[in-house]
Amino acid sequence: MDDGAVLHIKGRILVGPDPLDGVRDELWVVGGRITFDRPAGARDVTTVEGWVLPGLVDAHCHVGLDAHGAVDEATTEKQALTERHAGALLLRDAGSPSDTRWIDEREDLPRVIRAGRHIARTRRYIRNYAHEIEPEDLVAYVAREARRGDGWVKLVGDWIDRETGDLGACWPRGAVEAAIAEAHRLGARVTAHCFAEETLAPLVEAGIDCIEHATGLTEETIPLFAERGVAIVPTLVNIATFPRLADGGEGKFPRWADHMRRLHARRYATVGAAYDAGIPVYVGTDAGGSLPHGLVGQEVEELVKAGMPAAAALSAATWGARAWLGRPGLEEGAPADLVVYDADPRADVRVLGAPSRVVLRGRVVA
């Protein structure tokens, strides 16, 4: 399509989760933006038909990162294109050592919301990923990443403690309270990688905005999350790897391996209980470390397996996720980032795995 072309999309336009008010029959794309009013005098019109969702959201991935650390621009581009092919057009990058600002200049790549680089305790995270610091430096590093990111900062809340041989919290309460307060002062939200149970309550009480993975949620902490409105991004496609990780580390850290297996065994019950309690749940895959990109549809399927209704799981990757991140969906005047399917994804979320068209910034790109 050239800049003067008009895209006409017909069928079932799913502008929201409501089965009645959330459905329109058609929309047009003019100048890269959505309108629900037929453009007058349009001649160069391309028509696409199907079931339409806003561009999907992967709210936890890592662009510019692989299992060994930062990657080059060519590899980063492939990662972003893989997300685009899967219909993920809005990515929250939950920590990367790479400078990926150049992606913002590319009209053919998804939009990225960055959390800067991970901030971890010394020797308490994956090598080459994070700033590895001690608690007295936490506030300064949080301020640095708050200024570098796009409104988010990422902490590593817990990791293997070699002294105990199990998961352990990384930060004392006072340090994390001061760091979160500083991020909020600078207009950034804070999220944290957390697997363990005991890590959660102190972070929530310190004012954290989101928890990644959240496998350690319990009957005691779920009400606290719900009361404070703290969101979770479960990354169930990543949690599925826990048994393999446990097998690999059992010889050195048997307590940790047993803990990881137990967290894995109750993963669906944990997410289902969180959703039932009213905790906001969003879709994220943790792609870019040990996992490939393009898994957003599989993560929606995992949320359904955990007991979330299909409409709620879809919202966690579309309408709700976009609102949470402050980005528009299928709205009048919004950038035309949308995905078209041959069947109704509300009836079967597996449809997400096979988009028929992907439209980014008003152009059909896949």
3-state SS string over 188-206?
Answer: CEEEEEECCCCCHHHHHHC
Does 96 have pLDDT greater than 70? Answer: yes
Nearest alpha-carbon partner for 284 in 270, 274, 298, 271: 298
Does 43 have pLDDT greater than 80? Answer: no
pLDDT band, very low/low/confident/very high, at 4 (cuts 50, 70, 90) = low
Q: What is the pLDDT of residue 87?
A: 98
Nearest alpha-carbon partner for 307 in 236, 241, 242, 355: 236
pLDDT in tens, 193-244: 999 999 999 999 999 999 999 999 999 999 999 999 999 999 999 999 999 9
Q: What is the mean pLDDT of the chain?
A: 96
- pLDDT, greater one: 43 or 361: 361
Q: What is the pLDDT of residue 20?
A: 84
Handedness of CA 250, 253, 256, 258 (dihedral sign): positive
Torsion angles phi and psi, residue 33, rounded to 5: -125, 155
Q: What is the pLDDT of residue 80?
A: 98
Q: How many CA atoms lie within 13 A of 169 on its CB side?
A: 14
| Tokens (6 digits) for 14 | 């799913």
CB atoms within 10 A of CB 155: 30
What integer is the mean pLDDT of 290-297? 96
Angle between helices 138-148 and 173-185 (to 10 degrees): 30
Is 0.75 topped by the overall pTM? yes
pLDDT in tens, 162-176: 999 999 999 999 999
What integer is the mean pLDDT of 72-92? 98
Nearest alpha-carbon partner for 358 in 18, 52, 95: 52
By the 8 A CB rule, do 352 and 56 touch? yes
Nearest alpha-carbon partner for 29 in 17, 13, 90, 83: 13
